[in-house]
Amino acid sequence: MNEVQSFLLEGCGIRGALVRLEETWQQVIALHTYPPDLKRLLGESVAATVLLASSLKARPRVSIQLQSEGPLKLLLIQCTEDLRVRGMAQCEARALGEPWFSGGRLAVNVDMHGPNGFFQGIVPLVSPHIDECLEAYFTQSEQLPTRFVLKSTERRIGGLMLQALPGVSFDDENFRTAATLAQTVSTEELASTAADALLPRIFTGYDIRLFEARPVLHDCRCTPDHLASIVRLLGEDEIESLLGDPGCVEITCEFCNRTFRYDDEDVAAIMRGETPAQLLH
Ligand SMILES: [Zn+2]
């Protein structure tokens, strides 16, 4: 299961989305050795970003970027309009029991592709949990009551989002009830139960309209063309210095953690406007 599915709780002004990723998630972390609890945070953030991207009708590109003064320096997740996702985290060593992040900010970027179609909302990191930080973002930036339930394991990630429908009057009490029900879902259920069985089980008594599932794929975007354009940006002096020592130009993609190596012939080809096949190091 690598898909996201939107739904409506009919008649009460609440919309939702359900995401479950398995191979796509494993591809995000394949070559990284993140500590287990950072991997969990990354997984929760990937699930949340896909939920955000899928919930907007305009099908924007969405990214979330967390920068903290704690050991986690940067967490960046990007999801395209056709639900191709990539993500990475950069961290330093931390003391035992120290939370990964504190005293920083969370930026949510929504790119609608058109003129004036870029929106960035920034909120302080109000909690050590990404779901609570995102809920604070929605309260402050969009004034839309929103709840996330995010689950992340080594193998799979899953998430459930509930949100008040914009422009529709709704009952606060009803939203709280639905949010409480959403919290009852177990990691196992969220990971493996089909949506048409899972949602009625969670939201007992609600009339649920389920929309078609959309596939979510991993796409790192470190294509030969993109890598060649990075080499061209280095400038002649730096390239000359790298080809002298260590004797090649190496580029490591921070998202997938692969390293690509170009020798002087490859670099000459790139400078002629060609795109040689990457040599994986
Ligand atoms: Zn990559």
26 pLDDT band, cuts 50/70/90, is: very high
Average pLDDT on 218-228 reads 90
Alpha carbon separation from 37 to 72, 89, 120, 153, 277 (Å, rounded) = 12, 12, 28, 10, 36
> Residue 281 above 80 pLDDT?
no
Mean confidence (pLDDT) of the chain: 91
Residues of CATH 3.55.30.10 domain(s) within the chain?
A: 3-218
pLDDT at residue 71 greater than cutoff 90:
yes
Residue 27 CA to ligand 1 centre (angstroms): 10
Cα(63) to centroid of ligand 1, in Å?
16
The superfamily CATH assigns to domain 3-218 is: Hsp33 domain (3.55.30.10)
Please say if the pLDDT value at position 221 is more than 90. no
Ligand 1 midpoint to CA 232 (Å): 18
Expressed in angstroms and rounded, the spacing between residue 31 Cα and the centre of ligand 1 is 10
Question: Residue range 84-112: average pLDDT?
Answer: 92
How far apart are the CA of 233 and the centre of ligand 1, in A? Answer: 18
pLDDT in tens, 28-55: 999 999 999 999 999 999 999 999 999 8
Can you give the pTM of this predicted structure?
0.91
Query: Does residue 170 have a pLDDT over 80?
Result: no
203 alpha carbon – ligand 1 mean position (Å):
39
* Domain span(s) for CATH 3.90.1280.10 in the chain: 224-280
Q: What is the reported pLDDT for 279?
A: 60
Topology at the third CATH level for domain 224-280:
CBS domain Like (3.90.1280)
The alpha carbon of 252 and the centre of ligand 1 are apart by a number of angstroms equal to 8
pLDDT of residue 7: 96
